Structure 1
Amino acid sequence: MRFFTKRAIVIKSIIAGIVILIIKNFVFKNLSIYGQDFHDLIELSDITIIFTGAFFVFGLLLAATMSDFKESEKIPGEVAANLEAIKDWIYLAFKAPRTGTSDLCKEELNSAFLREELLFITDGIISWIYSKAKDSNVIFPLIRHSNEIAYYFAERGVDKEAIKGIQENTNAMRKQLTRAYSISRNNFIKPAYTLLQSILFIVMALLLITKFKTTAADYFVTFSITFLFCYLYLLIVGLDDPFDISNDEIDVDLKTLDRFKQRLISDFLV
């Protein structure tokens, strides 16, 4: 099953190419208008400029979506780095001298509480990225929850640098996840998708009524162009939401976050 999921675009494009071949050779070859066969209405040389222009437009839109995807690839690693930094600031809090004279300043830091808090935040971020909805009402309160660690330290006279470090990393993480939310929620402009779909429809329609010099050229060119345009369209759609984890073929790599969680579970304040 994973084999097909990882190659969904290729499989869908191949199926589209086969469908167009079947329609052209088993449906359109039996149809005619005023004695002219449907599959021989246009010469290939008459429409090559249309194919060239179509490829150009697809290339421009592909470049636009790739820029967002490249930015998205950095986000999981940056979030993991900020979580790692918060973990290091917590370690510092245990070692640095504490100030204050209140009873809270004299008690030992609760390592079980701090471990549970950081695990909760990490689990929540990973679950949010894997979710389909990407609900802002989930992720932003979760990020604010990391301030609970800062408040806990402030009440107990922990070194101010540790508190400041936690807050700075929290703010950096908020910016990164806000960008992920924006990329996920704001899809490519609808007129651009309408243009792509229109071009795809026109290319398929032209292939169905185009005359080729040989049967081999008919099969090869029709299948190849259908495959390429369908592949490009599906690729652009997939790249438009790189945080759609349900699409295993085109999504950002979350290994950095997953590996951080494994390290957190295995060695953080154990």
Structure 2
Amino acid sequence: MKVPKTIKKKSNKIWQKWSIAFRIIPVILTIALLKILSHQFDLEVIELNALFTSLIAGTIFLIGFLISGVLSDYKESEKLPSELSASMKTLYDDAYTVYKGKNSQNALQFIEFQKQFIHSLMDWFYKRETTVSILEKISQINDFLVELDNEGVQAGYIIKMKNEQNNIRKMVLRIDTIRETDFIGSAYAILEAMGFLIAFCLIIIRIDPFYASLFFTLLVTFLISYMFLLIKDLDNPFDYAENGESGTEISLKPIHDLIKAFDNLKN
């Protein structure tokens, strides 16, 4: 029996929405078990005090600092696939105009090159192709432009296509920088340390009644763990090789749409 597509889409959306929460369930269960054992064996040796609440406040401040930093890159990243797709389509339109106007075989070969290049670009997003390789293919556009120039194509077309080539190269390099660079690694380290320290203190802190203590222990652990994983995911919104196009990854729909358009084109 086949599952309807609408049900699959809804289940995928639910998974994308709650994927981080599902990933931290083992952490929450571990902390709950340790808290129960600590209570049973009278290992709750610390009383709740202002120093501990200050530690939690400092951690929240650090989380806010990190998320404000990664969000700026994330908002920029949202624009890159659509801008990349627009540059590729503009490059195709210029080549197609030259082909139709002059019946240029070089322009036709350039169009075929672009159809292959868009698939290579998708492979690059999934790290099935290296950045060096994709940059070499972008540089191969020069050969087609030289041939078009030798055919007497107007300089305005050549300059416009060179500009789009430059835009594609800049966007590829920007995406590569975003996905290969962590946002302040030392800040992640101190956040991990503070998160671990808070979880340890919550396990051995005595708060009466016990069930209130257990509830707040799990709540604080859940919030800090969730925000830490969210920041890590936002820091690399192009990690398709590991996570696919789900969760916090930037949508590649403009690239997919362009691939479909190129595959359906007839010269």
Q: TM-score range by the shorter chain?
A: 0.7 to 0.9
User: In structure 2, which of residues 234, 238, 262 is the aligned counterpart of residue 239 of structure 1?
Assistant: 234
Aligned to 1:28: 38
1:167 and 2:182 are equivalent in the alignment: no
Matches within 5 A, 1:171-182: 171-182=166-177
1:156 and 2:151 are equivalent in the alignment: yes
> Could you list the runs of 5+ residues in structure 2 that have no partner in the other structure?
1-10
Cα distance in structure 2, aligned partners of 1:180 and 1:108: 34
Q: Which amino acid aligns with 2:33?
A: I
Q: Residues 211 and 44 from structure 1, CA distance in 2 versus in 1: closer, same or farther, beyond 3 angstroms?
A: farther
Cα distance in structure 2, aligned partners of 1:219 and 1:30: 12
Aligned to 1:130: 126
Question: Over the residues paired in the alignment, what is the CA RMSD in angstroms?
Answer: 2.2
Aligned 8 A contact 1:80 1:260 in 2: yes
Cα distance in structure 1, aligned partners of 2:139 and 2:230: 35
| Number of matched pairs | 253
1:44 Cα offset (Å): 5.8
User: In structure 1, which of residues 1, 7, 12 is the aligned counterpart of residue 23 of structure 2?
Assistant: 12
Cα distance in structure 1, aligned partners of 2:91 and 2:107: 14
Q: Which amino acid aligns with 1:176?
A: M
User: In structure 1, which of residues 83, 86, 89 is the aligned counterpart of residue 88 of structure 2?
Assistant: 83
1:82-141 deviations in Å (ceiling 9; x for gaps): 001101101221344x6xxxxxxxx74256523320112111111111217x73312211
Q: Which amino acid aligns with 1:139?
A: I
Cα distance in structure 2, aligned partners of 1:253 and 1:165: 28
Aligned to 1:67: 72
Aligned to 2:134: 139
Aligned 8 A contact 1:86 1:166 in 2: yes
User: In structure 1, which of residues 107, 114, 129 is the aligned counterpart of residue 110 of structure 2?
Assistant: 114
Aligned to 1:201: 196
1:145-189 deviations in Å (ceiling 9; x for gaps): 222331231232223222211111000111111111111112123
Q: Which amino acid aligns with 2:90?
A: A
Cα distance in structure 2, aligned partners of 1:72 and 1:198: 29
Aligned 8 A contact 1:21 1:219 in 2: yes
* DSSP 3-state at the match of 1:17: helix
Cα distance in structure 2, aligned partners of 1:64 and 1:108: 49
Moved more, 42-51 or 252-261: 42-51
Aligned to 2:3: none
* DSSP 3-state at the match of 1:47: helix
Moved more, 222-231 or 114-123: 114-123
Cα distance in structure 2, aligned partners of 1:94 and 1:225: 63
* DSSP 3-state at the match of 1:7: helix
Superposition misfits of 4+ residues, deviation over 4 angstroms:
1-6
Aligned to 2:53: 48
Percent of aligned pairs with the same residue? 26
Which structure's CA Rg is the greater one? Answer: 1
1:25-80 deviations in Å (ceiling 9; x for gaps): 0x22244xxxxx32242226552222111111111111111111111111111110
Moved more, 168-177 or 205-214: 205-214
Aligned 8 A contact 2:84 2:171 in 1: yes
Cα distance in structure 1, aligned partners of 2:185 and 2:61: 19
Q: What is the TM-score normalised by the length of structure 2?
A: 0.86
1:216-236 deviations in Å (ceiling 9; x for gaps): 312221111111000011111
Q: What is the TM-score normalised by the length of structure 1?
A: 0.85
Aligned 8 A contact 1:117 1:149 in 2: no
Cα distance in structure 2, aligned partners of 1:183 and 1:135: 15
